[in-house]
Copies of this chain bind each other. A is one copy, B any other.
Amino acid sequence: MIRSNVAELLNSNNFLQEVTLKGWVRTFRANRFIAINDGSTINNIQCVVDFEKTEESILKRITTGAAISVKGTLTESQGKGQTVEIQVSEIEILGDSNPEEYPIQPKKHSFEFLRENAHLRIRTNTFSAVMRVRSALSFAVHKYFVENGFYNFHAPIITGSDAEGAGEMFNVSTLDKMNIPKNEDGEIDYTNDFFGKETNLTVSGQLEAETYAMALGKVYTFGPTFRAENSNTARHLAEFWMIEPEVAFNNLDDNMDLAEDFIKSVISYVLQNCKDDISFLDNRLTQEDKSKPAIERNEMSLIEKLNFVIDNNFKRVSYTEAIDILRNCKPNKKKKFQYIINEWGADLQSEHERYLVEKHFKCPVILFDYPANIKAFYMRLNDDGKTVRAMDVLFPSIGEIVGGSQREERLDVLQQKIAELNIDEKELWWYIDTRKFGTAVHSGFGLGFERLVQFTTGMSNIRDVIPYPRTPQNAEF
């Protein structure tokens, strides 16, 4: 007999069919009703055991977490809470789960406890829902880009160039740390390292993606990136997945259109394809809110928030306008901000971004045309000589979700900027080549995938939306 899965059976009305199902026990009550889950859906299927015909020794082993195989008949359920159930004729215990030892009990565990058991937390409703949504989002990303004529580009992970300057890097090496070879000047001699030079983990695939966009037209990366920053916060990971589209001939307006359309598309996909998981997470958040003081509660439910993003235009505001708004807003005047905004040129902090999004505009915001000196060297200089064609997409709760720009396509302007910043031009010879040969306007952005998963699932800590989080002092599993 072919093995069925729970999702299929719950949607079946082929009653009286004989079925075989394998999965894990979530609960067993009244020596009669087993709730089985196999990961195919957040929902369990009820399996009804005839305890009088079942050996006592078997019944004792039907415990939370045990793997079992059941054969039986699919029937309409008389009970509340489900439409179908399985009348079990045969049951086999595949793998026991000693209830005295099994860490995941059928009760509420703290997220902190579950992080320490990240190999088992996926067996809970919340984490299985989050990770199914993460998987669906991942597919939605690929689907969106492929359907829109983009090519997936695998950026290198180990990189010999560190010019991007997006953050602190992890060093990659095969040198024996007990015997670091040094040259005559007392410097580290990398000639015997694996790559014959110093290498690091990438902080962004953008520069390489640009080289591909200048031939394939539209490309995107979706891969891991790394920051060796000692940030122990609920929104930073040392290892995270990033999505970076790059499009030849797109200017900053096109880039904003792309970012907005992309985000709306992938969130729509999840709303359509993960109804049960999103509904569970929506309910979870609502319950969590009830235990909070009124002022900390969310104004919208999770589903309302997702629909709000899909249904509304992202407000596009220049940095200069944003500074005006912030300078004159109440929290600034009353010195409620930690960083007071006094003048044009200030770097915006999370508190300012959230004020703009959550209090002032009450919708996702795209800020653009930032001061050149707080942004990266590759961003296109505006005619005013002091701002660059940068953009950040800001979301409620999570802040910056996208950072992007039109790239500086003019060879002379780029070279001047590189010289000003004392970047070694030799490090970037290949990048500069793209401006020498057939250069053109182009734009792109980076979107931190985990922030998108956080937003879509309503999880407040970024460590809870990636299977095995890497953070300072933690690389367990």
- Given the contacts A170-B194, A467-B154, A467-B155, A439 and B95 also touching, CB distance less than 8 Å: yes
Q: How many A residues face the partner with a CB closer than 8 A?
A: 104
Does A404 lie at the interface of the complex (its beta carbon under 8 Å from any beta carbon of B)?
no
Q: Chain B nearest CB: distance from A61 CB in Å?
A: 11
- The segment from A138-146, A308-316, A330-338, A384-392 that touches chain B is A138-146
A300 vs B123: C-alpha distance when bound (angstroms): 49
Q: Which residues of B contact A476 (CB under 8 A)?
A: 160, 430
> Of all chain B residues, which has the CB nearest A430?
B119
A100, chain B: closest CB distance, angstroms: 11
A137 to chain B, nearest CB (A): 9
Contact across chains for A151 and B178 when beta carbons are under 8 A apart = no
Chain B: minimal CB distance from A111 (Å): 17
**For residue A160, which residues in chain B have a CB less than 8 angstroms away from its CB?**
475-477
CA distance A39 to B151 in the complex (A): 9
Interfacial chain B residues near A239, Cβ < 8 Å: 156-158
Q: Is A159 an interface residue (CB 8 A)?
A: yes
Residue of B128, B223, B474 touching A196 (CB-CB under 8 A): B474
- Given A97-B438, A158-B170, A194-B170, verify A212-B433 contact (CB < 8 Å): no
Q: Give CA–CA (A200, B217) in the complex, Å.
A: 35
Query: Contact at A218–B39, with CB atoms within 8 Å?
Result: yes
Q: Are A211 and B430 closer than 8 Å at their CB atoms? A: no
Question: Within 8 Å CB of A180, what residues of B?
Answer: 177-178, 180
A132 touches B158 (CB 8 A): no
Query: A94 contacts which of B7, B66, B158, B441 (Cβ < 8 Å)?
Result: B441
> In whole angstroms, how far apart are the Cα atoms of A224 and B160 in the complex?
17
What's the Cα separation between A67 and B215 when bound, in Å? 10
Q: Verify A468–B174 contact, CB threshold 8 A.
A: no
Q: Tell me which residues from 87 to 129 in chain A have a Cβ below 8 Å from any Cβ of chain B.
A: 94-98, 101-102, 104, 118-120, 122-123, 128
Chain B residues contacting A472 (CB-CB under 8 Å) are 194-196
The answer to whether A409 touches B95, judged by C-beta atoms less than 8 angstroms apart, is yes
Assess whether A395 is interfacial by the CB under 8 Å rule.
Answer: no
Q: How far is the CA of A98 from the CA of B214 in the complex (A)?
A: 16
If A170-B173, A228-B174 touch, whether A159 touches B223 (CB-CB below 8 Å) is: no
Complex Cα–Cα for A1 and B240 (A): 39
Q: Is the CB of A172 within 8 A of B171?
A: yes
A131 within 8 A of B: yes
Task: Scan residues 404-442 of chain A and give those whose CB is less than 8 A from a CB of chain B.
Answer: 409, 430-431, 433-441
Q: Does A73 contact B (CB under 8 A)?
A: no
A156 adjacent to B470 (CB under 8 Å)? yes
Is there a chain B Cβ closer than 8 Å to A382's Cβ?
Answer: no
Q: Contacts A39-B216, A123-B215, A173-B171: A208 and B468 contacting too (C-beta < 8 A)? A: yes
Q: Provide the residues of chain B in CB contact with A104, threshold 8 Å.
A: 437
Q: Verify if A5 is at the interface (C-beta below 8 Å from B).
A: yes
The B-contacting residues of A in range 193-226, CB under 8 angstroms, are: 194-197, 199, 201, 208, 211-212, 214-218, 223-224, 226
Jot down 6 A-B pairs with beta carbons below 8 A, ordered by A: A22-B249, A122-B211, A170-B194, A177-B177, A223-B223, A430-B476
Sample of 10 more A-B contacts, CB < 8 Å, known A40-B217, A173-B177: A5-B217, A22-B249, A22-B440, A97-B437, A122-B216, A135-B153, A157-B226, A158-B170, A158-B226, A170-B174
